[in-house]
Amino acid sequence: MTQPAKQVKQLDRVIIRFAGDSGDGMQLTGDRFTQETAAFGNDLVTLPNFPAEIRAPQGTLPGVSSFQVHFADHDILTAGDAPDVLVAMNPAALRANLGDLHKGATIIVDTHDFTARNLTKAGYTENPLDNDTLAEYALHTVDLTGMTVEAVKEFGLSRKDASRAKNMFALGLLSWMYGRPTEPTTSFLAKRFAKVPDIRDANVTAFKAGWNFGETTEAFAVQYEIKPAVMPPGTYRNITGNLALAYGLVAGGVQSGLPVFLGTYPITPASDILHELSKHKSFGVTTFQAEDEIAGVGAAIGASYAGHLGVTSTSGPGVALKSEAIGLAVMTELPLVVIDVQRGGPSTGLPTKTEQADLLQAMFGRNGEAPVPIVAPQSPGDCFAAAVEATRIAVTYRTPVLLLSDGYLANGSEPWRVPTVDELPVIDPAFATEKNHGSGEEAEFWPYLRDDETLARPWAIPGTPGLEHRIGGLEKGDGHGNISYDPANHDFMVRTRQAKVDRIADSIPLVEVDDPSGEAKVLVLGWGSTYGPIGAGVRRVRKAGYHVAQAHLRHLNPFPSNLGEVLKGYDKVLVPEMNLGQLSLLLRAKYLVDAVGYNHVRGLPLKATELAHAIGELVGQAEGIDIDLGVWGEPTQKEHI
């Protein structure tokens, strides 16, 4: 090295947020940094955050798009509460994100875009780089755009095209600062822009220039090192929730031997599942982009009737539209996987933001007594296993199943240990092939004769001779399945459909409680994507020296059969949710437990530090002690947590 070696400082974890205009390529930048970090071997969690508008007005606050990545040399659970480093590509990005930073955080700004016009658009009357607004931060002012344009001038691009590579310059700089491997990004760029060599070369050059700038400039005196994390053995990849979910559906098809049929309508944040599955026709996957949400689920039900694995993917507003059809699948007792990637509601709500306020819609959002099993993944990678489990329940019990993902899981990513195919359950569709009632000449096929164990009805698909039958939305007579208006039969069938869903509890694992000391009086119970923040909050409380137990639900209907017992074992139960208390309501109704809610609907994941305080408060009440979390109550606490 020709340059004097810079000081290298060890860190155990870092949170970086890339922020810029929605056209600045911040999602790509964050994604590339994440891939480099995954390849390096750190544990990581990401939080993309972008506006619903594809190109909101340039330079404005609503147009700011950001990508946060938290990476560490140990197991971490959340994308972090407060960034340590903010990369702000314009004044709006600075202003929109400054409030989330802790004092002393590093800020890198692209000075090029701090023009009078952009400052005004962001609502600054004075340039914050010129006064003491940022006095409490470690500010680095860098002309990212100017240096990018200079670095790529040999390619003869227009100034506009040249300046567009500034995100790669920023990526190069950050990659140097944190000692990330550069190869994944250079080979990615080579592939991505293979057809436009000028753009490819400009991006690679900008990336390398950013790296070299970090290495040579005196402005950045320190390089940081975050050692790889120790993780259980296995093959890992970084994966987003929507990708894992799509893979889970492909796996569900392979493991059941059923061709997957996705009937769907594009909707944020679920569309990527359609995009991904449409690439996997080689597994017999058919994707049908329907004229509307109802046709999407209708076609999926038709495909299930015909012996395929019918799947429909949507978000909350789409589930509302599909409700009647899901009721039809309840009545006809056909397998159907309904994926709801939840977003902020009601109505159109916050399409690109996360929430988990569709639990009660999933549970009760249909006319009549229409029980539907519900499963929920707890992390991006876990979407894979949740999709396989939804398939297992749908096929085994002949029922629609609701899978509740959310916007945070869908777009967020984490390292995922890739399972081997042997680890996956084998799912037996067990199609009916024989008449099942009476014998000899009198033998008939009864479509509503049930399996003793599961209460599932036979699935006889068209093309099976002798089993011709009619099903539909009208009430069925027990056994023979013909239309029945008989009062006693209806009462029996309503109870039987409920009993069938309740019986699923026999096939699911008991809820496991993490209570290391065995002395906790408070249980924190969650579901879905709050797993990470709850886990991090619980760790903080334990680090501060207090006892608290944690459990997380994969199955929300039916609940695991030991849940009632588990709840009784604790003095207080805290239920953190990104809604106004929907799981709390179900727990209170079913178990008469005085569940305490911790509820936020900000369109963002819960914050671990805030949660730690809420847990601490409840622990204090339960144990009759004063709680002081000390440094563990500070978002900036940098020790292992």
Partner 1 sequence: MSIPADLGLPGLRSGTEGVPTLPEGAQPQTGKDFTSDQEVRWCPGCGDYAVLKAVQSFLPDLGLRRENIVFVSGIGCSSRFPYYLDTYGMHSIHGRAPSIATGIATAREDLSVWVVTGDGDALSIGGNHLIHALRRNVNMTILLFNNRIYGLTKGQYSPTSETGKITKSTPMGSLDHPFNPVSLALGAEASFVARTIDSDRKHLTSVLAAAAAHRGTSLVEIYQNCPIFNDGAFDAIKSPDTKADAIIPLVHGQPVTFGAEGAKALVRDEQTGGVKVVATADVAAADILVHDAHNEDPTVAFGISRLTDSGYLNTSPIGIFRQVERPTYDDQAREQVAAATPDASGNDDTADRAARLAALIGGGDTWTII
Give the binding range for partner 1 (CB under 8 A) out of 70-78, 119-127, 418-426, 516-524: 418-426
Q: Which two tokens stand for residue 230?
A: 């120790």
**Binder to partner 1 among 70, 121, 164, 308 (CB under 8 A)?**
308
Q: How far is the CB of 383 from partner 1 (least distance, A)?
A: 12
Rounded Cα distance between 54 and 68, Å, is 19
Sheet of 522-527: strands edge to edge? Answer: 549-553, 522-527, 572-577, 596-599
Cβ distance to partner 1 smaller for residue 327 or 560: 327
**Binder to partner 1 among 250, 390, 522, 556 (CB under 8 A)?**
250
Site for partner 1 in 379-408 (CB under 8 A): 384
**Binder to partner 1 among 418, 430, 499, 625 (CB under 8 A)?**
418
Q: How far is the CB of 468 from partner 1 (least distance, A)?
A: 5
190 binds partner 1 (CB under 8 A): no
**Binder to partner 1 among 257, 346, 368, 630 (CB under 8 A)?**
257
Cβ distance to partner 1 smaller for residue 108 or 258: 258
Rounded Cα distance between 331 and 254, Å, is 27
347 binds partner 1 (CB under 8 A): no
**Binder to partner 1 among 10, 158, 235, 347 (CB under 8 A)?**
235
195 binds partner 1 (CB under 8 A): no
Cβ distance to partner 1 smaller for residue 259 or 479: 259
The vertex-187 CA angle with 186 and 191, nearest 5°, equals 120
Rounded Cα distance between 322 and 501, Å, is 20
423 binds partner 1 (CB under 8 A): no
39 binds partner 1 (CB under 8 A): yes
What angle do helix axes 26-40 and 183-192 make, rounded to 10 degrees?
140
Q: What's the CA dihedral at 80, 81, 82, 84 to 10 degrees?
A: -10
Site for partner 1 in 463-502 (CB under 8 A): 463-474, 482-483
51 binds partner 1 (CB under 8 A): no
**Binder to partner 1 among 92, 294, 357, 525 (CB under 8 A)?**
294
The vertex-136 CA angle with 131 and 140, nearest 5°, equals 70
Give the binding range for partner 1 (CB under 8 A) out of 1-9, 52-60, 227-235, 543-551: 227-235
Q: How far is the CB of 335 from partner 1 (least distance, A)?
A: 13
**CA end-to-end span of the chain, whole Å?**
36
Rounded Cα distance between 87 and 105, Å, is 11
- At which residue do the structure tokens 């002393």 appear? 104
Rounded Cα distance between 524 and 575, Å, is 6
Cα–Cα distance list, 146 to 143, 153, 167, 206, 244 (Å): 5, 11, 12, 11, 39
330 binds partner 1 (CB under 8 A): no
Q: How far is the CB of 405 from partner 1 (least distance, A)?
A: 17
Q: For residue 134, what are the contacts with CB-CB under 8 A and spacing of at least 6?
A: 107, 128
Cβ distance to partner 1 smaller for residue 135 or 421: 421
Site for partner 1 in 565-604 (CB under 8 A): none
Give the torsion sign (CA, 341, 347, 350, 351).
positive
* Number of amino acids touching partner 1 (CB under 8 A): 73
